[in-house]
Amino acid sequence: MELAGKVALVTGASKGIGRAYVLALAQAGATAVAVARTMGTPKPGTAPAKGTLAEVVQAAAAKKLKIHAIACDLEREDDIKRTVDEIVTNYGRIDVVINNAAMFPHYETLDITVEEWQQNLNINLLGPYLLTRHVAPYMMAQRSGSIVNITSAVARPTEFGSAGHTGLMPYCVTKAALDRMTHFFSEDLRAHNVAVNALSPGMVLTDTWLTVAPQDAAAAEKAGYARHPTPEALGPAVVCLAQQTAATLTGQILHTNDYGKTWPKAA
């Protein structure tokens, strides 16, 4: 599935990994739609604030690319439905969904409140489910499409399930559940030629990581394990997955570092 003439939606696209993904998809020829909570329309004569949709649109324009922005609260199903309906009304279709939006807080394991658990579940797991549920009928009708859930290596028990990493419990648990949901959706949508895969970006030095765990992020950067979230570093893998259908690649949990090694590059 070539991306020219296709419509791609990226959640959590105002900053970090999502920002890199939506720019990469625009560069690949897709009609790219950036979705996040904060539009951040600046006052006349001022630059848009960093971490807003308005800033991403401006950054794309500087590269002679066009990105469309829609503010959406992924904790509200009515907002998700409105966003999907708006995209279909404006562009006639939805071909690619990148479920990237997530929260990444640290907690004391025994002190996580019910409200904190619920918010993590809402954003990291229920949001991708609801967006997929509302997008799937359009993809099924056109008999093509690709849904990419952005996961993490911490979903695996061998990664961050040990002492010293339990402050990430809600993030790890919701990402593990997202992997399982990827498998379920891939089987349910296979007959309709819709691909559903999950992609782990690897250790990426985002502003969120620098804010939540600055010492860990700084150590990772010094060790050479982290990279900044640029379209050049992260884009090729997500563009490849965006081009898939169930006939080419589906039901896989993949890692960016393995792109072009254990899984194929885009044609």
Q: For residue 80, which of 52, 101, 54 has the smallest C-alpha distance?
A: 101
The residue type found at 40 is: G
What Å distances lie between residue 86 and 93, 139, 217, CA to CA?
10, 15, 38
> Distance between CA atoms of 239 and 234, rounded to whole angstroms?
9
Q: Catalytic amino acids?
A: 171, 175
Asked if 129 and 178 touch (Cβ cutoff 8 Å), the reply is no
Adjacent-strand bridge partners of 7: 31
> Distance between CA atoms of 180 and 96, rounded to whole angstroms?
20
DSSP 43: P
